């Protein structure tokens, strides 16, 4: 897959950000893990978060759909707007939020249920579909979009956990897609996969970006360069540099970015 930055750049009119983070800091108890980060994320772009282990990529990613709520010591300061609305406001329905801003994890985590149920569960609890035939349609379409349909269409009643690692990860992507999200967050989605399964997921990400805002955390510089149009480099809780992926990799402004992408640390 060729880098596709130029295409995204010429795609035209300046859109408003899907997610806008303003002065976001995250603490675990007394310890500050993210320090005053502001960033805008756009639909139809893949945004890559890169940086050395422990710099706060996962922590910051989790603020974008309030996954940090599940960690009792975590506290988030600042503002995160989804289509201009503060997701940390008290009236926010967090279950609804996580359907709008879906997440795919490092280790594929299908439910211990059938392939069909893995996909149908979300639309059912969110009341997206009422009839069996509607649900069947969503299951097929989600699996199609995730590039898994042909491999599983004859075994929808098999357990999701019986699939290969790469298939499980595509199942998890299909599950996220099924509730019609606006943003998909992926935290090192390929790190447990072999190169072929990884290439599959990268192609899929490129296909999906037409519809969603996608944010991907990756340790692979090659992957960031292949799949993303925007790259954010984090270091020790700070957002050091954010820009076009081609600029970050060929012409970084900051010394720390240069050191990281040339492999001097991390
Ligand atoms: N649940 C937690 N409780 C306390 N501290 C945490 C927790 N999760 C992360 N941290 C700390 O916050 C900092 C950032 O961690 P985070 O997992 O966000 O880094 P990361 O960039 O995703 O690293 P990696 O590349 O290794 O996944 C680290 O110092 C880490 O020890
Ligand atoms: Mg992480």
pLDDT of 142-200, one tens digit each?
999 999 999 999 999 999 999 999 999 999 999 999 999 999 999 999 998 889 989 98
Q: Return the pLDDT at 174.
A: 96
Domains of the chain: 19-261 (3.40.50.300)
Strand 238-244 versus strand 230-235 pairing type: antiparallel
Ligand 1 site residues (CB inside 6 A) read: 28, 33, 51, 53-59, 71, 73
Rounded mean pLDDT, 124-134: 88
CA angle 187, 224, 61 (to 5 degrees): 30
Atom of ligand 1 at shortest distance to CA of 56?
18
Tokens of 122: 């979300």
Instruction: Read off the pLDDT band of 264 (50, 70, 90).
Output: confident
For the chain, the average pLDDT equals 93
Q: Among 76-85, 199-208, 243-252, where is mean pLDDT lowest?
A: 199-208
What is the distance in A from the centroid of ligand 1 to the CA of 115?
Answer: 32
Contact 203, 1 (CB under 8 A): yes
Tokens of 131: 């009839």
Tokens of 4: 């596709």
User: What residue has token string 């059912």?
Assistant: 124
Q: Give this prediction's pTM.
A: 0.92
Query: Torsions phi, psi of 225, nearest 5?
Result: -65, -35
Residue 85: strand, helix, or coil: strand
Count of alpha carbons within 13 Å of 117, Cβ hemisphere only?
Answer: 10
What is the distance in A from the centroid of ligand 2 to the CA of 188?
Answer: 7
Q: Atom 6 (ligand 1): residue with closest C-alpha?
A: 28
Q: Atom 8 (ligand 1): residue with closest C-alpha?
A: 59
């Amino acid at each position: 897959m060729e880098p596709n930055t130029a295409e995204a750049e010429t795609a035209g009119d300046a859109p408003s950000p899907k997610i806008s983070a303003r002065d976001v800091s995250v603490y675990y108890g007394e310890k500050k893990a993210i320090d005053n980060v502001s960033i805008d994320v756009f639909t139809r772009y893949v945004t890559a978060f890169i940086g050395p282990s422990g710099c706060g990529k996962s922590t910051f990613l989790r603020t974008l759909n309030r996954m940090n709520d599940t960690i009792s010591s975590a506290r988030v300061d600042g503002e995160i707007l989804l289509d201009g609305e503060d997701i940390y406001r008290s009236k926010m329905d967090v279950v609804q939020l996580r359907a709008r801003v879906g997440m795919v994890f490092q280790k594929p985590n299908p439910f211990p249920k059938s392939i069909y149920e893995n996909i149908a569960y979300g639309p059912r609890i969110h009341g997206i579909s009422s009839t069996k035939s509607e649900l069947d349609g969503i299951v097929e379409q989600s699996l199609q979009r995730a590039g898994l349909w042909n491999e599983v269409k004859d075994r929808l009643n098999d357990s999701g956990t019986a699939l290969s690692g790469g298939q499980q990860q595509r199942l998890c992507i299909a599950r996220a897609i099924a509730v019609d999200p606006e943003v998909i967050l992926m935290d090192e989605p390929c790190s447990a996969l072999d190169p072929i399964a990884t290439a599959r997921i990268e192609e899929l990400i490129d296909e999906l970006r037409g519809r969603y805002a996608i944010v991907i955390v990756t340790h692979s510089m090659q992957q960031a360069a292949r799949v993303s149009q925007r790259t954010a480099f984090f270091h020790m809780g700070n957002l050091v540099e954010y820009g076009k992926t081609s600029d970050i990799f060929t012409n970084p402004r900051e010394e720390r970015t240069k050191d990281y992408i040339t492999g001097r640390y991390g």
